């Protein structure tokens, strides 16, 4: 009987140990899986594109149609809308003729590669393909990427895992999610709308799912922000992603949308973003040329002005300036943001 009792205890101990190991490994695996789904937030600032020597010697040459300009800038869509009036005021004040174009990170990269502009604006953290010799990135701030739905959608909050599973096509019905009062969402299929821009740049949607192959084959892709808002605002069953200000404010003429909380944190909660609790964001930056043939002190002054403007920008634009990022432990190399703060838990 004693032998039998000991054996029994041993069996229980073994079972508990095995359960703990399994549980631990399951958590570890889940953590790893989540980590593997998340793409990089930043690229290695030390690596850059190899360009011919002749290219490096090339000075900045503006497009002929730009006319006689003292500075040429290409800004990303959000910064163009936020900063253009103040830049124009700055130009007026300093007697400068600044040509500003409204475009994308890809265009900025292309124009920089062709050395057509002095300052390139990026709404994504720069990728290796954007890093040209003699080009310096200055981070201006970060902004949360909101997941948003039609205002009639009763779902208000989802977990990051659920968000990923929605876009991966593993959660297909809104009824698989819960409303704030614990009831299941509507029994309709989720229509995911994606804008998989800047695939070679880190951050942005890649913090949700690293690459386009992870997204559901059912996902409806659009080519620009305006169409994204239009699609979600006109479909009660749709979900999309974009920076909160563009989604809820700037493009509201395209239709109204409602942002979702992720793990209980709203994209408008900039403190949550700063502390790393809100997981998806965009990194804004502008560039200056530092090469002998390309350096422009006027551009350097303008970049300083832009950074200062963002520091004093209204919180409604949803942009966290670099001073707050630095204070919250975000990692910088020079003037470029290169890493997230260490999380305590």
Query: Footprint of another protein on this chain (CB under 8 A)?
Result: 49-52, 63, 65-66, 74, 77, 99, 101, 103-107, 109-111, 113-114, 129, 195-200, 221-224, 226-227, 230
The residue among 46 and 297 lying less far from another protein, judged by its C-beta, is 46
- Closest distance of CB 264 from another protein, Å: 31
- Closest distance of CB 204 from another protein, Å: 10
Give dist(CA 152, CA 171) in Å, integer: 20
Q: Write a three-state SS string for 150-203.
A: CCCCCCCEECHHHHHHHHHCCCCEHHHCECCCCCECCCCECEEEECCCCCCCCC
Residue 281 near residue 207, CB atoms below 8 Å: yes
Give dist(CA 272, CA 203) in Å, integer: 17
- Closest distance of CB 169 from another protein, Å: 17
What 3-state class would DSSP assign to 240?
strand
The residue among 242 and 340 lying less far from another protein, judged by its C-beta, is 242
Distances (CA, A) of 107 to 53, 102, 110: 23, 9, 5
- Closest distance of CB 168 from another protein, Å: 18
DSSP string, 87-142: HHHHHHHHT--EEEEEE-HHHHHHHHHTT--SEEEESS---GGG--TTEEEEEEEE
- Closest distance of CB 196 from another protein, Å: 6
Indicate the DSSP class of residue 345: -
What 3-state class would DSSP assign to 219?
coil
The residue among 51 and 214 lying less far from another protein, judged by its C-beta, is 51
The residue among 178 and 197 lying less far from another protein, judged by its C-beta, is 197
The residue among 70 and 157 lying less far from another protein, judged by its C-beta, is 70
The residue among 80 and 330 lying less far from another protein, judged by its C-beta, is 80
- Closest distance of CB 67 from another protein, Å: 9
């Amino acid at each position: 009987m004693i032998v039998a009792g000991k054996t029994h205890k041993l069996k229980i101990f073994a079972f508990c140990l095995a359960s703990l190991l399994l549980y631990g490994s399951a958590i570890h695996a889940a953590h790893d899986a989540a980590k593997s789904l998340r793409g990089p937030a930043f690229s290695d600032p030390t690596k850059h594109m190899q360009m011919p020597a002749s290219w490096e010697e090339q000075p900045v040459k503006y497009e002929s149609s730009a006319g006689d300009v003292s500075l040429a800038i290409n800004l990303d869509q959000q910064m163009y809308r936020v900063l253009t009036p103040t830049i124009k005021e700055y130009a007026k004040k300093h007697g400068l003729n600044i040509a500003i174009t409204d475009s994308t990170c890809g265009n900025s990269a292309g124009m920089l590669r062709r050395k057509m502009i002095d300052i390139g604006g990026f709404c994504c953290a720069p990728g290796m393909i954007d890093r040209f010799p003699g080009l310096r990135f200055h981070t201006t701030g970060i902004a949360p990427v909101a997941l948003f739905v039609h205002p009639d959608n009763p779902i208000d909050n989802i977990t990051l895992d659920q968000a990923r599973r929605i876009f991966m096509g593993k959660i297909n019905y809104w009824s698989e999610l819960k409303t704030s009062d614990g009831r299941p969402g509507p029994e309709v299929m989720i229509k995911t709308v994606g804008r998989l821009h800047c695939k070679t740049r880190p951050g942005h949607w890649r913090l949700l799912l690293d690459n386009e192959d992870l997204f559901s084959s059912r996902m409806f892709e659009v080519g620009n922000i305006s169409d994204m808002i239009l699609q979600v605002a006109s479909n009660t069953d749709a979900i999309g992603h974009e920076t909160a200000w563009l989604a809820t404010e700037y493009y509201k003429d395209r239709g109204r949308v409602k942002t979702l909380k992720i793990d209980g944190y709203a994209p408008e909660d900039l403190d949550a973003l700063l502390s790393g609790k809100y997981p998806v964001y965009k990194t804004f930056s502008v560039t200056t040329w530092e090469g002998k043939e390309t350096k422009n002190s006027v551009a350097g002054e303008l970049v300083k002005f832009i950074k200062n403007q963002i520091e004093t920008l209204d919180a409604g634009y949803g942009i966290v300036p670099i001073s707050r990022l630095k204070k919250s432990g975000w990692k910088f190399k020079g003037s470029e943001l290169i890493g997230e703060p260490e999380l305590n838990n």
